[in-house]
Structure formats: C-alpha cells, structure tokens
Amino acid sequence: MSRRRGGNRHLHRLLRKPFFGRFEVPWVWPEGIATAGWERIDIDGPAGATLAGFWGAAAPAQGTLVLAHPMGKAAKGFWLRQGHAELFLRAGFNVLVFDCNGFGESEAVSFDYPADILAAGRWAAKRTPSLPIGLVGASFGAGWGLCAMARDGSPFRAAVLEAAFPTLPDFWRHYPAAFALLKASQVVMPWLERGLRPELEATRLVGRPAVLLVYGDADTYTPPAHGERLRQAMAPSARAEMDVLPGVGHTFAFRDAADAYATRVLTFLRKQLLGGPGLIAR
C-alpha cells in the first residue's frame, strides 16, 4: 500500500508541474505582517496529507471563517498580506488560513483540492463547535471551495467566493501549454477533469447555503460572465447573490475597492452567519 501511495504521489508531482510548478517555492511569512496572535496548526488532509495552516482567534468570536487561497506562491499568505485576515478578525470572526496540498508548506499528493478545503472546514468546526462556519475563497480557492460545499459533511453555512471559475478549461485557456495538457488529459484521463467542475457541483450544494459571488469588471481571467453562469447553476441548491466591482482585476477586490468590498462582504457574513442585518464594525 505504501509503495502504491508513493507512486501516486510521484505521478501527481510530475503532472502538476505544467500547471503549478512556478509556484513551488519555499514559503515565507509575508513581510511586514506581525506574527503575534497566530497559532501554527496542522490539518489531517486527504490521502494522508498534512495541510499547514495558521489559526487566528478573535476576541470575542461570533463565527469562524475558513480562507481558501488563490493560486500563487503566497498560498495562505495571500490573506495575511492583502489584509483580509485582519479585516475578519477585527469584525469578530476567527480565521483559519491554510495551504492546499502542493502549495506553501503542504505536501503535494493529489488534485482533489475540494477535499483539502472540506478537511479545513471540518477542522474549524471541531475547533469551534458552537460557532457558525463560513468560507471565503478567491479564484483557485473559490472554485474548489464551491466544489467542497457540494460534498457530504460540508460545514459551510455561507460563502464569499471571489473570481470563481465555472470549469478548468475556462480558466486555463489563458495559459496555452497548460491548456493543451488539460485538453489531452480529458481524453486520456477523462474522470479527472469531469470530477472537478464547479459549474456542475454548484447544482448540488449541501444544506442550501448562502453564497455571495464577487467579480471585478476588469478581470480577464474570470470575468463576470463566469459568475452569471455559476449563479444560475446554483439556483436550485443555494441562496446566491452576485456583485461586480468596477475597476477591479483578478483576486484584488479588497486591494482595489477596499471600502466597497468590506461593506458588502461583512454585511453579508453578519446577516447569513450571525442573523444580524447590519455591518460589523471594522
């Protein structure tokens, strides 16, 4: 069994190179961000993987948010560097940031990233069993977070998904080499891509969660049209809303439209997770 698992992991590392190889660098704490108040934690992920993360506790805490990172070298550090983590902590939410397998400090084992996000959600639910659990994802983390919400045991009552993609070809078409490999894999290993389609999983989300889709009108990778497709797909299984922010590019809603993002997102989370109508004080 161990030899088979080792072979599968080796094959996975080879296959992921064209897609994610440029992001496989040693992870470092974001410069200029204080480390105080962050607890290093490990999450038991799928296929025997250990997912590296940090836990930030709000005082007092009203809810817990799992933050699923976009594709990039920063991995979980994206939320620290861009200021999302601080925003949510000040708003009264515990924050869990973590690396999906193969990113940051987590070992590469599979392409089943929704399973990583589900494992993180379950960890958060176990850590704070009396608090509602929400999900915030961006691009890579948003698409796979949506898929995670369709799996049994999903603890996510509400989600803010920024720049989510409907299918892998929709996103990777901007990267010719990776796109060609993806198209080839649809012939050689059709089961792989078929099992990872956010647009399909959106039709069967667990527990009818509330979902806020966020897009920027300057985003060429995941344009607002992608959000419309997902919003329509999830109509039978979720209470979905969508916002398009002017002048915002890919995954930079908070950086480029901080006030609009904070007001909309915090109001949504307070209403859907805490049952309150208003804005949480920043």
Q: Could you tell me if 162 and 138 are in contact, meaning their C-beta atoms sit under 8 angstroms apart? A: yes
Under CATH, domain 2-23+37-274 is a member of which superfamily?
Alpha/Beta hydrolase fold, catalytic domain (3.40.50.1820)
pLDDT of residue 180: 58
pLDDT of residue 11: 54
Q: Could you tell me if 238 and 202 are in contact, meaning their C-beta atoms sit under 8 angstroms apart? A: yes
Query: Across the chain, where does the E strand assignment appear?
Result: 38-44, 50-56, 63-68, 93-98, 133-138, 156-162, 210-216, 239-245
Which mean pLDDT values do the consecutive 10-residue runs of the chain (282 residues) have? 47 60 82 96 92 97 98 95 98 98 90 95 98 97 96 98 87 59 54 72 97 97 96 97 97 97 98 70 36
Could you give the CA distance from residue 212 to residue 265 in angstroms, rounded to a whole number?
Answer: 8
Residue type, 212: L
Give Dmax (Cα) for the chain: 55
| DSSP secondary structure letter of residue 128 | S
pLDDT of residue 267: 98
**How is residue 247 written in tokens?**
């002048």
**How is residue 96 written in tokens?**
């869990």
- Backbone conformation region of residue 32, classed left if phi is above 0, alpha if psi is from -120 to 50, else beta: left
What's the distance, Cα to Cα, between the start and end of the chain in Å?
51
Distance set, CA 248 to CA 183, 186, 214, 222, 229 (Å): 30, 32, 10, 11, 19
**How is residue 92 written in tokens?**
């009264």
| DSSP secondary structure letter of residue 47 | G
Number of helices followed by number of strands (H, E) in the chain: 12, 8
Could you give the CA distance from residue 117 to residue 68 in angstroms, rounded to a whole number?
Answer: 7
Distance set, CA 228 to CA 132, 141, 202 (Å): 27, 18, 12
The reported pTM is 0.88
DSSP bridge partners of 159? 135, 211
**How is residue 146 written in tokens?**
């949506």
